[in-house]
Amino acid sequence: MIFQAESGVQTMNRRSVTPADVAVLCHWDAQPHVRTSDPDDNWAWEVELSKVPDLREQLIAEHDGRPIGCIQIIDPAREESHYWGDVPSGLRALPPVYAVANRIE
């Protein structure tokens, strides 16, 4: 994805999360705006990224090659905690996402 900004053309990209992203994900987890949103949440990224269930997709958003956020897209009918309740198959849910605080505009 490419967009025009005041300073010129900038690129926005998304890619799959990999184990190489553990450090940045842990750093984001420790940020005040993330902790405030869910203070009891502990993703245990080293363990979480070793799982690759077909019911979810985890993506990193990058701006000009720099990670700026993370999003997870899940099948809520198959999600193990049933957080979304009894829902029909074929839907997708977007749980809360991370974004780098100084990049939120």
Q: Which domain holds residue 51?
A: 2-103
Comparing 37 with 104, which gets the higher pLDDT?
37
Q: Cα separation of 15 and 36, whole Å?
A: 26
- Confidence grade of residue 60 (pLDDT, cut at 50, 70, 90): very high
Q: Is the separation of the CB atoms in 23 and 49 below 8 Å?
A: no
Q: Give the model's pLDDT for residue 2.
A: 46
| Region of poorest pLDDT, from 2-11, 62-71, 75-84 | 2-11
Q: What is the CATH number of the domain that holds 42?
A: 3.40.630.30
* Residue given tokens 């720099």 in the structure block: 66
The pLDDT of 20-37, averaged and rounded, is: 84
Type of residue numbered 72:
Q
Q: Is the separation of the CB atoms in 96 and 45 below 8 Å?
A: no
Q: Give the model's pLDDT for residue 39.
A: 64
Residue 100 pLDDT more than 90? no
Q: Give the model's pLDDT for residue 105.
A: 43
* Residue given tokens 């780098």 in the structure block: 100
* Structural domain count of the chain: 1
Type of residue numbered 51:
K
Token pair belonging to 41: 């949440």
Comparing 21 with 8, which gets the higher pLDDT?
21
Handedness of CA 30, 36, 42, 44 (dihedral sign): negative
Name the CA radius of gyration of the chain, rounded.
Answer: 15
